[in-house]
Chain A
Amino acid sequence: MMQNRRIRRMAALLAAAVMMISMTGFAAADEAAPGELRLAISRDITTMDVAKTTDDYMIPMNVFDRLFETRPGENGAPAEVVKSLCSDYSVSADGLTYDFTLLDGVVFSNGSALTASDVQFSFERLLKIGNQNTDIPMEVAGSDAVMAKEAETLSGFTVKDDTHFSITLKTPNAGFPAELSSPAMSIADRETMTDGFGTEPAETIGSGPYIVTEWVSNDHYTLEYNPKYRGEAPSVKKVTAKVIPDANTQNLMFQNGELDLIDLRNQDGAVIQSIYKTMYADRMVSVPNVGMIFMILNEKQEYLQNVKVRKAIAMAIDRDTIIATLYNGDAKKENGIIPTGVWAHNNDLEGFNYDPEGAKALLQEAGYAPGQVQFEMSMDSTAAGTLQLVYQAISQMLEEAGINATVKTYDHAAWLEKRGSGAMDSFLGRWGMDYNDPANIMYTFFGTVDNSTHRSVNYPDTDVIARVAAASAIVDDAERMAEYQALEKKLIQEDAAWVSLLEDMHLYCRGERVKEFVPQWAGFTDLYVTDVTMNE
């Protein structure tokens, strides 16, 4: 009897607990406020300061302004550089000096006026910290002295008054305005750029459409509409970005209505096919990742120094199969170095077609028996799942052509160290364009001997390297394009110094509350929140 009473009491307690959980639990999914955009990020940002990151651009893109912005082209047209804080500019005949006029009446979110000295301070600060994003301000005359802490200010930066200033470069660079549209060149309030800048929301002040109001490490950050923003009020009034490292959890949250927009980059291909392309087909948004997936062949490696071997490798890779099977068709073949979507891209450039028999013949011509050519394809352990599969597929395709390419996985830090030493035989890389100018990719890999070594390319032709470096100084756009395309032809067709593979699509899916979304022009994971329109 006593025992039964105890059991009944325990059962009642259990039922009460379940009821309590279920009653409070039905409101489990976060209710969004009107105009609130809920996003998931796979890892937390490390800083909000562009002097210390080249990856975490979401907050800089939305909290700060820049002199120029790169906007996606209408109806498939290439992206274009448009004026932002800069209302007008002119360039001297020698291409060295740019005169800028700032928009009148721009204020930061704290009410301070944005002036030319804020622009100067933002540029100089990148050099003084000397950590990340120093490449662009290093082009300005006097930058070496600032970087070496021998000078306080840039001799090539002259502030004329609050809204007028000029910048003199060391060498002409026609792509300078495009470079200034990079999130790296964000302008902040010089008065607030002190110790807490980039880590404390209250001290991270810009003139962009949003204010960062909260950042809880490893948990979430919040952006809210900046009422002092000069432009029209955006549709999204608040952004809550939660750190959700697990792709499956993100997936469940989206399907549960807890996310308003999901970046599908981390989702498995099978999940995208079976869930998103099936259940949410009308809400899918895609944009090319303006950039390239490519294969690097180290020209100092015993076998890869032979141009015939490099050409044979390019011919042995069946890119159509890779795109159809591993990317489910969400990619396109690339033949050059300058990717589709960048203004100097050459659509007519011929690459190497898949021809395994031709590859075998070339190897024979080079004096190598089947299986004799051996090298390592070094894979970064943090490479995306699909890229890891591409490694395996290519290794198998090369084996069929008589080339022995072994895939070896390295921890990220070890991989970077090996590549940086110039001793990596081969790897598959991905380059996303930071700004719409061919120099961004050409200079990085072939602009200097150091750059070429640091990325284990070890391209030996110093004349070509000098021409790549000089190309950014050509002032005439048509002449500059012709030079880049000629260089690209030489590097691809004659030297096989770069094996172009593909440009993949970046897929997103809108939730029910989002009416429209235009991704960043180059397919960044980070987005301009003003390009999201809510239904309510």
Chain B
Amino acid sequence: MLKKLLQALLVMLLVALLIFVMLRIVPGNPVAVLMGEHGNQETIDRMSKEMGLNEPVLTQFFRYIGNSLKGDFGTSISMGKPVGQLMAAAFGNTLILALGAALFAWVFGGICGIIAAAKKGKIPDHLFMGFSLLGISMPVFMVAMLLQYLFAYHLHWLPISGNDSWRSFILPAVALGWNSAGSIARLVRSTLLDTLEDDYIDTARAKGLGRMAVLFRHALRNAMLPIVTMMALQLSALLSGAVITETIFSINGIGRLAVQAIGSRDIPLLQGTALFTTALVILGNLAADGLYRVLDPRIRKGA
């Protein structure tokens, strides 16, 4: 595990360097963007110097890493506030949104997959697999707009946008989790069907256990390994990939912050959000590895 942690740290450092260098290679000065139409070259040059943007890239990089280790991610050029403060304010919303989306995907996708497996070849199977195909193939913006139109605009059940209350997160969570629900449903169905063909399932049936007991107590428990791994990976993807959902539903989250940073070429903010999402993905992978070890004793024992 220690080896994996060290690998993760190395990946983080490399990603940080890559982001840092790439942001400085692409043409365009963040100060010029900040100054907009009224900027003159003299002021742009002076401010670039004041911000240390003219220094060698490696000097800037090591200073950035040093400050980051102390928890100082710099100050946003476009918003004039500490990057750490902006990310902390946004992360809470992203976390609620991602957890809500994951919960929806796991529960809804899981139920669909189980029913489809239990009713293989029958109407519920075709129905739920049709749903899951829809989930996988519909782009998130389309799901979001349809949900907004139906449940917020037409039925007035839920807010159109915002992050004022838990109700505001229902539609975005469903929109964001829709795609993952489709994948989970398909995976649950296929792994369950594989497991249901194993010998020990026949043994359980022969012992006179009911259909539900066989399905939940024996088949599902043993089919969980790939499903849980996928869930862990999905959670980190949901945490880092909510840009469109956050924009459509006006949620102040990490994704929207990143889009804003790209638009204004706000290097400190862009570095901060990029590193943060990288860390989330790496943590997601580590969590998946960890879960694998917990769920599968063979891996734990090094078999």
Contact = CB atoms under 8 A, between A and B. Distances in A.
B80 A199 contact: yes
Interface size class of A (residues with CB under 8 A): 35 or more
24 contacts: A3-B212, A21-B167, A21-B170, A24-B167, A25-B167, A44-B260, A46-B80, A47-B79, A217-B252, A218-B89, A218-B90, A218-B252, A242-B250, A243-B252, A244-B250, A245-B256, A249-B248, A256-B152, A256-B156, A382-B263, A413-B32, A414-B28, A416-B39, A450-B41
Name the residue among A25, A134, A249, A411 with the largest chain B CB count within 10 angstroms.
Answer: A249
Interface string A190-226: 0000000011000000000000000011110000000
B33 interface: yes
Contact of A28 (B38, B40, B152): B152
Interface stretch (A125-133, A322-330, A521-529): A125-133
Contact of A249 (B79, B90, B250, B257): B250
Contact of B40 (A44, A246, A454): A454
A54 interface: yes
Nearest to A198: B80
Contacts of A24: 167
Interface string B118-158: 00000000000000000000000000010011001101111
Interface residues of B, number: 53
A117 B80 CA distance: 27
Interface in B157-172: 157-163, 167, 170
A252 B153 contact: yes
Closest 7 CB pairs of A and B: A413-B28, A25-B157, A218-B252, A413-B265, A414-B27, A414-B28, A416-B32
A4 to B, nearest CB: 12
Contacts, number: 145
Contact of A252 (B36, B39, B149): B149
Given A130-B46, A242-B162, 15 more contacts: A26-B156, A29-B159, A46-B78, A52-B80, A131-B47, A217-B79, A217-B86, A219-B163, A242-B250, A252-B152, A258-B160, A382-B263, A411-B265, A412-B263, A418-B27
A253 B27 contact: no
Nearest to A246: B248
Name the residue among A29, A199, A218, A255 with the largest chain B CB count within 10 angstroms.
Answer: A218
* Interface SS, B side: helix
A43 B27 CA distance: 24
A41 to B, nearest CB: 10
B30 interface: yes
Interface of B: 26-30, 32-33, 35-41, 43-44, 46-47, 78-81, 86, 89-90, 145, 148-149, 152-153, 155-163, 167, 170, 212, 247-250, 252, 256-257, 260, 263-265
A87 interface: no
Given A218-B252, A218-B257, A249 B30 contact: no
A248 B46 CA distance: 40
A22 B86 contact: no
Contact of B26 (A219, A243, A414): A414
Contacts of B264: 412
B89 A217 contact: yes
Contact of A420 (B32, B160, B162, B170): B32
B28 A416 contact: yes
B93 to A, nearest CB: 9
Contact of A246 (B36, B212, B250): B250
